[in-house]
Amino acid sequence: MEYGRPHTEFQLNSYKTAQGVLAHIKAMSYRGGGTRTGLGLDFLIHTHLTAASGSRAADGVAQVVVVLTDGRSQDDVAEPAQVLRMAGVEMFAVGVQDAVDWELREMASQPQSTHVFSFHFVLFSLSLLKAQDTADLVLLIDGSQNIGAANFPYVRELVLRIIERLDVGRDTVRVALVLYNSSPEIKFYLNSFYSKSSLLDAVKALTYTGGDESNLGAALEEVAESLLSETSGGRADEGVPQMLVVITAGPSTDDTGAGDRALKRASVITFGVAIGDTATADLETIATDISFVQSASDVREVANIGDQLLPLINGNIFSEFCQPKT
């Protein structure tokens, strides 16, 4: 449901699969209008949380409402929120941008420390909460002279550390890997290996490719076009989060705009590992959020970045980048 002027997008019983829900959400367009959160909550009570609309409260099924807002409401939220809580509905209040803290608290259930959240960025997807159990992860590694032959083993060690701590499997975390210089080279797809031992062996066999050019833009386009589809092992249609980790030690020698836009349209969550000072700007541009870029001043320190990066990949983004209100 959207509110401003309340409008039903779909009911609890409209879709039986996650694919149907996701397809509808992706097709939604911005409606504009004022922020009348109270009216939206009242509309929710009378239109959505009923047996005819698919509610199973009478069967003892938990009723949960997540309110996502970016500003102060133009009407009262306290009364309709109280009605919902008294009916046993668990209320979460999520604020972005200019949301008002006290108003979020007025709506949320107790304890507020676990029901009120504020985000550093708008591009939050509740599907990320599933990432600890399931994800499609693409590792995109600069194999050019930016890294260098002597330093490549340190980068390979970082990749090994990441994979060693993932729950790799057909139905859990799938991993693909691409090396790039003047052009990208796919080393393995998301459906190439379903066991951790096979993945680790493939990474251990990686060798430095070299090259004067570091065309990150072309590599991003290759990821968007060739690595995330169902035929390549991608599970976006099943609602599985798709993630990209870019590891580089220098600036791109081509434009990253087209590839970056394609990945953002596909809702890919992009992280960056910058080695040295010259790689940071490109990675901050393509990352889902600037705070998703981890930096190492020297390549010998890069393996330790895994300890900072893994909580994000493992789905702890909820605790890392949401701030519970205390």
Strand 269-275: give its sheet, edge to edge.
184-188, 173-180, 135-142, 242-248, 269-275, 293-296
72 inside domain: yes
- Let me know whether 172 and 229 are in one domain: yes
pTM of the predicted model as reported, rounded to 2 decimal places: 0.60
- Let me know whether 105 and 232 are in one domain: no
- Let me know whether 112 and 216 are in one domain: no
How far is the C-alpha of 286 from the C-alpha of 302, rounded, in Å?
Answer: 20
pLDDT for residue 129? 35
> In total, how many domains does the chain have?
2
46 inside domain: yes
How far is the C-alpha of 83 from the C-alpha of 35, rounded, in Å?
Answer: 20
Q: How do residues 195-253 score in pLDDT, each as one tens digit? A: 999 999 999 999 999 999 999 999 999 999 999 999 999 999 888 889 999 999 999 99
Out of 119, 153, 180, pick the residue that ends a domain.
119
Out of 119, 152, 173, pick the residue that ends a domain.
119
Q: Considering the chain, what is the average pLDDT of its residues?
A: 84
- Let me know whether 225 and 77 are in one domain: no
pLDDT for residue 131? 39
Q: Smallest Cα–Cα separation from 174: which of 131, 216, 205, 206?
A: 131
Q: Tokens 């190492």 appear where?
A: 296
Quote the domain boundaries for residue 52. 18-119
How far is the C-alpha of 104 from the C-alpha of 102, rounded, in Å?
Answer: 5
Confidence of residue 165 (pLDDT cuts 50, 70, 90): confident
Out of 119, 142, 173, pick the residue that ends a domain.
119
Alpha carbon 3 to its chain centroid, in Å, reads 24
- Let me know whether 307 and 170 are in one domain: yes
CATH for 221:
3.40.50.410
126: pLDDT strictly greater than 60: no
Q: Tokens 């393509």 appear where?
A: 286
- Let me know whether 135 and 249 are in one domain: yes
Q: How do residues 271-326 score in pLDDT, each as one tens digit? A: 999 988 888 899 999 998 777 888 887 777 776 676 666 665 655 333 333 344 44
124 inside domain: no
